[in-house]
């Protein structure tokens, strides 16, 4: 099953750029910044709390504080997903201002340049960008980033395709009114939802009807949610991005066997597998498919169906979806 999962042509729909940086790239960036994070890197292989996960994320974040480092990071991340047979990738990242080094515009410009560069170096993978709104940074920052996203969406509609609502779920709020302004111009919305118990906010997000939801860890009644929330999610038919290793290492689920995947899969709810932060959590999308197969007794045909259904949830045109499906079907005929 290991080899089968690696050969599967996969879609990655929930990948944070800075969290996807591998240890190899982190060491490269550390040398570039003349810093040493060996102690922190050792934590990547251990099970850590949600708070500690965000600390590791912040360390990686500190290494991508120049245009050069950001370009290297983006190219490396794309290359590594390509090596894992990911043929469609949506990267998400929060625009940053670093005094004397980089403006928010330059931040987005650099990622787009790296994506354009990847078309030449790794033509087998299609890459799109989502601008992230980090809820802990407050309303003003969220407003600024969404305005930037709208501006760049108008300039690069084939590259910048959506907004990601993310950040520490224990801080800030969901900024749903701001997200509506982005949706009104055509941007897709992917919202982290129910990473911690918060019934009112979860209900508000479900009522808003984002195009996709991330995690939904605390929605089922057996996972600090409620039957009311779970039924509302199922009725909504909003696709959910599920990240097994991330949830396990952050201890937001008791065990893999108790993961929300089982409840959603049995309810035939639309879902896809993703890595979240493959660097921070030391995983690959192939490993996530293998984990799902082993934990929930999925067959090779089940995994193929998961891959194909993921195309429906991608933030691309119907024409691009048809092309992607054709590529997948062609590749699937050559693996057993």
Question: Where in the sequence numbering do the catalytic residues fall?
Answer: 195
Find the helix packing angle between 199-208 and 176-184, rounded to 10°.
Answer: 10
Tell how strand 271-273 and strand 240-242 pair up. parallel
Phi, psi angles (nearest 5°) of residue 51:
-60, -45
Residues facing 271 on adjacent strands? 240
User: Whole-angstrom Cα distance, residue 244 to residue 202?
Assistant: 20
Alpha-carbon Rg of the chain, whole angstroms?
19
CA distance linking residue 124 with residue 121, whole number of Å: 9
What token pair was written down for 39? 């102690």
Q: What does the longest C-alpha to C-alpha distance in the chain come to?
A: 53
Paired residues of 130 in beta bridges? 92, 162
Contact 193, 216 (CB under 8 A): yes
**Cα–Cα distance list, 112 to 33, 73, 151, 213 (Å):** 23, 12, 14, 24
Please give the Cα distance from 78 to 184 (Å, whole number). 30
Q: Token digits for 38?
A: 């060996």
Calculate the CA 69 to chain-centre distance.
21
Q: Would you list the DSSP string of 116-147?
A: HHHHHH-TT-EEEEEEEEEGGGHHHHHHHHHH
Report which of 140, 238, 252, 143 is spatially closest to residue 196, judged by C-alpha positions.
Answer: 252
């Amino acid at each position: 099953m290991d080899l089968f999962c690696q050969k599967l042509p996969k879609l990655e729909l929930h990948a944070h750029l800075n969290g996807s940086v591998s240890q190899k790239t982190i060491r490269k960036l550390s040398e570039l910044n003349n810093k040493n994070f060996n102690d922190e890197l050792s934590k990547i292989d251990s099970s850590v709390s949600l708070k500690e996960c965000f600390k590791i994320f912040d360390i990686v974040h500190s290494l991508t504080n120049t245009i050069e480092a950001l370009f290297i990071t983006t190219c490396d991340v794309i290359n590594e997903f390509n090596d894992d047979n990911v043929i469609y990738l949506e990267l998400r990242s929060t625009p940053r201002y670093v005094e004397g080094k980089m403006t928010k515009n330059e931040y987005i410009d650099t990622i787009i340049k790296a994506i354009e560069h990847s078309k030449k170096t790794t033509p087998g993978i299609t890459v799109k960008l989502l601008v992230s709104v980090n809820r802990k940074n407050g309303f003003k920052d969220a407003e600024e980033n969404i305005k930037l996203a709208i501006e760049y969406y108008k300039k690069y509609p084939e590259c910048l395709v959506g907004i990601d609502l993310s950040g520490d779920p224990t801080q800030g709020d969901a900024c749903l009114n701001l997200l509506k302004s982005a949706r009104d111009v055509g941007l897709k919305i992917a919202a982290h939802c129910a990473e911690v118990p918060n019934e009112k906010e979860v209900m508000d997000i479900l009522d808003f009807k984002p195009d996709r939801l991330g995690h939904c860890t605390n929605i089922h009644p057996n996972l600090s949610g409620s039957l009311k929330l779970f039924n509302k999610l199922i009725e909504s038919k909003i696709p959910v991005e599920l990240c097994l290793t991330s949830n396990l290492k952050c201890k937001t689920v008791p065990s893999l066997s108790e993961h929300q995947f089982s409840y959603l899969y049995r309810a035939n709810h639309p879902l896809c597998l993703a890595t979240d932060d493959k660097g921070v959590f030391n995983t690959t999308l192939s490993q996530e498919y293998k984990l799902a197969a082993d934990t929930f007794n999925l067959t090779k045909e089940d995994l193929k169906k998961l891959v194909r259904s993921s195309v429906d949830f991608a933030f691309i045109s119907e024409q691009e979806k048809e092309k992607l499906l054709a590529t997948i079907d062609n590749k699937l005929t050559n693996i057993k």
